[in-house]
Structure 1
């Protein structure tokens, strides 16, 4: 699936064109901007203190799946009185029904576990938020600094380190499982050679690299794997036995298969090198334990760490959006505060969010790569609107000769770690974004193509001699240019 290449985001995807592990990509800023609008009369009439009924929740997820905007959705609701409700609709992609014990990749929601682990280590006196990350990376020959300011653990946890979203030495051998061959040492090597382009702590920039580096540093301090680290500090204390990096046999049996926009099954993602950015898998029932602990940390075994993670520490370009330790903290147009994160891998999109004041929250897990952020936010605060189904424009396909199609064949760079590889097979042209499946491009006119699996178009650009030099990806009202590099 093609997705837009945003400047920031909360899914672990390359972008919103993505590594779909960012979570996923411009989901943070784009999602927050979509909400930071004037309240409507209709929404203002909704009493947020009244939880959505079971029938209303079922209707939302049924409509989403029946409209083919998702293959399957599982939801966990935590009501203000502490009651939990679970819902599921759609297919798991296997003979097993989709339910609250179905296993999903949660993508960048993993970042909140990494940050909570950091907070717990601070509480226990193992580290300090202001410690330079270099202190815990003995394998790094150099960690960049700027104007005398070193990158600290809290800079990484608040997405303000100055490190880029993705490292430029990220070159997947397997596009269907793009992180599988990227190692911790490669991440450290990239950081060692990277020159910061702005001051540390100056700006928010969502970075899978930064959060992955935080996970590496903390795990190396304790001499364990990332999974062992997060189990010790978060999962085991909360009794989360169904949340792991590596599938247990039982989790594998209950796996909900991931799907692309066209409904096809896609590969799971393995993320050994940047595990702290998006490697966890979980279930609705397990995530409800995590949600309950965050909503009411006073009754959780990790009270000091959870409370520390929720403190606003850094702003963004959106005045309504701030960062805690990994958590995004949104002030809605209605004055409520929504603490949330989303996630996304190749075939999954996920959301967790809660309202501290109302002691309520939601987990939404989907085994498709279409965003469920609006669903999650609406379930937390019904005044926040659901996004309408995209309007499809009728397009007429034309046939271009193979020799014309050959002009477009090449490798196009939209970002340092995100390319679109264009190939020809017979009389058809195909595009394959980094970390995504190959999809056919249909000609609408010479130099202009469209996709059928998702509402996106590609326009190829030429120089004065008629040679193709680049492309522009059009999607969701945004334009993402790419230079032809070979």
Structure 2
């Protein structure tokens, strides 16, 4: 289950600003839908109250209207958990600063008293210091077909009892499925009902969202778009205690209706609850934004944006609300091969920036910009010099070249985006990425610049193939241009970077792949270095 980074900050350099036009979401989705190996995309838009829907790709089952097709919406469920917290506070059942120790009372022990001091607000804003997932879900829950199915309240409370923090909360916001799942379970327990029943009573019932549920009826099951992971049929996810983190299913019609409620809370039966959820509560540096009660709050082209994405085993989704434009956009995909956010980005037709002369800087001057620039706890830009040019990566992305266009500003050559470096006392101290109407800042850190061995596509192809682990999981290694991609069963492909000959490191987690060769130099297997060594044999 995923999130999505962005935020707009200071003024753009006017002479180099990127300009854009917009096109309908369905039009933007059409070419991307053709890339899906299976499944379809459904788009929904509300522009000034006028709704439109479309389905593109290989839609199944047949005969179901675009807006009525049911999809898992994953982490968008967190927004509903945030609304439940807002409602419980308004009803004076809890406070935003109520602590776990207060809410759980004598029913819960804490090995670390600081865990007991985490507040409900900190759970809703990912600032409690809890991990993305607890360590008692199994050795590799991300690779499970239905990872949350067996995790119950007993497991959740057992993890809380032993969890330890490095210091007292709050922490810088860092995405935690566990924290939001815990919040949902606490609020359900408080209501004396299940999380699903509480959502129906407090949110979907009053808003008339009849197709937004955790458990499908027989009729809704007939409208469910089946999950796919690439060309392979996936598995629907089920939840127990962690329902508040990602259990909901919905339709484009319901999600557009929900977005309209966020646009105009006063027109709903629950205006105070919605307004409270939408209030910015904490900075979210990893996403270049702020966060309300479960909702990401950023800026797009200078205007406010409410947004959240979702991803389960065979689904991708995103909800975007732009109050200044009275615009709601929804993308639902029953395949994990393409992020739903890509469709949103494709709806922006970024004009080719004004031609500015490319300037050459001496290598010594380029060195002034190299370094690691941190957005937040888990997101960073790495800027290094490759021969006579700067190359940049954002966590989870390949390196890309940038060219100097003057006044400490560089332009990407592969996408319409620019980097504005900033100085303090003459020394480069930070940068701002300008892309897709957003401005993402990052501060220069003291982290050591990694050594990257850039290889050509032909050399990387020697590693491509499938590698089977003793657990039966498969590593699929592919080449995308000059980047090596690694995908473990049940997970999306991730770029890895060569730091030693045949040794490739991840930058999204602390892990590495070391390839093994036989006497003839042929690649025969790999070793995953992550919490020990795990071997895989080439098929």
TM-score, normalization by structure 2: 0.66
1:215 deviates by: 0.7
> For 1:67, which of 29, 32, 35 is the aligned residue?
35
> For 1:175, which of 130, 144, 157 is the aligned residue?
144
Task: Tell whether 2:164 aligns with 1:115.
Answer: no
In structure 2, the partner of 1:483 is 532
CA 1:66–1:155 in 2, change beyond 3 Å: closer, same or farther?
same
In structure 2, the partner of 1:150 is 117
In structure 2, the partner of 1:323 is 291
Task: Tell whether 2:247 aligns with 1:190.
Answer: no
Q: What do you get for the CA RMSD once the two structures are aligned?
A: 4.1
What does 1:22-61 correspond to in 2, within 5 Å?
Answer: 24=2, 27-28=3-4, 31-32=5-6, 44-46=18-20, 52=22, 56-61=24-29
> For 1:229, which of 198, 221, 243 is the aligned residue?
198
Cα distance between partner residues in 2 of 1:267 and 1:409: 21
Task: Tell whether 2:234 aligns with 1:266.
Answer: yes
In structure 2, the partner of 1:256 is 225
1:97 deviates by: 4.8
In structure 2, the partner of 1:428 is none
In structure 2, the partner of 1:460 is 514
In structure 2, the partner of 1:471 is 528
User: Any idea what the Cα deviations from partners look like across 1:438-459, whole Å, max 9, x if unmatched?
Assistant: 9xxxxxxx9679xxxxxxx973
1:396 deviates by: 7.5
> For 1:296, which of 264, 280, 298 is the aligned residue?
264
CA 1:37–1:436 in 2, change beyond 3 Å: closer, same or farther?
farther
1:258 deviates by: 1.3
Cα distance between partner residues in 2 of 1:237 and 1:310: 18
1:125 deviates by: 2.0
Cα distance between partner residues in 1 of 2:55 and 2:304: 27
1:185 deviates by: 1.4
In structure 2, the partner of 1:3 is none
SS at the partner of 2:317?
A: strand
What does 1:3-18 correspond to in 2, within 5 Å?
Answer: 12=1
In structure 1, the partner of 2:250 is 282
Cα distance between partner residues in 1 of 2:346 and 2:303: 13
| 8 Å CA contact retained: 2:100, 2:115 | no
User: Any idea what the Cα deviations from partners look like across 1:354-376, whole Å, max 9, x if unmatched?
Assistant: 11222222111111112111323
Larger radius of gyration: 2
Q: Which has the higher strand share?
A: 2
What is the aligned residue count? 406
CA 1:482–1:60 in 2, change beyond 3 Å: closer, same or farther?
farther
CA 1:395–1:83 in 2, change beyond 3 Å: closer, same or farther?
farther
Larger mean CA deviation between 136-145 and 246-255 belongs to 136-145
TM-score, normalization by structure 1: 0.72
> For 1:90, which of 32, 57, 64 is the aligned residue?
57
CA 1:148–1:89 in 2, change beyond 3 Å: closer, same or farther?
closer
CA 1:305–1:448 in 2, change beyond 3 Å: closer, same or farther?
same
In structure 1, the partner of 2:319 is 352
SS at the partner of 2:233?
A: coil
1:135 deviates by: 3.2
| 8 Å CA contact retained: 2:115, 2:165 | no
Cα distance between partner residues in 2 of 1:239 and 1:385: 34
1:225 deviates by: 0.6
SS at the partner of 2:238?
A: coil
User: Any idea what the Cα deviations from partners look like across 1:213-266, whole Å, max 9, x if unmatched?
Assistant: 001101111111110011111010101110111111111000111111x32210
Task: Tell whether 2:257 aligns with 1:200.
Answer: no
SS at the partner of 2:207?
A: coil
CA 1:73–1:128 in 2, change beyond 3 Å: closer, same or farther?
same
Q: Is there any run of 5+ residues in structure 1 with no aligned partner, and where?
A: 1-11, 13-23, 387-391, 412-419, 425-430, 439-445, 450-456, 463-467, 473-480
| 8 Å CA contact retained: 2:100, 2:120 | yes
Q: Is there any run of 5+ residues in structure 2 with no aligned partner, and where?
A: 352-434, 438-455, 477-485, 494-500, 505-510, 517-524
Larger RCO: 1 or 2 (CA < 8 Å, sep 6+):
1
In structure 1, the partner of 2:304 is 337
SS at the partner of 2:67?
A: coil
Cα distance between partner residues in 1 of 2:515 and 2:225: 41
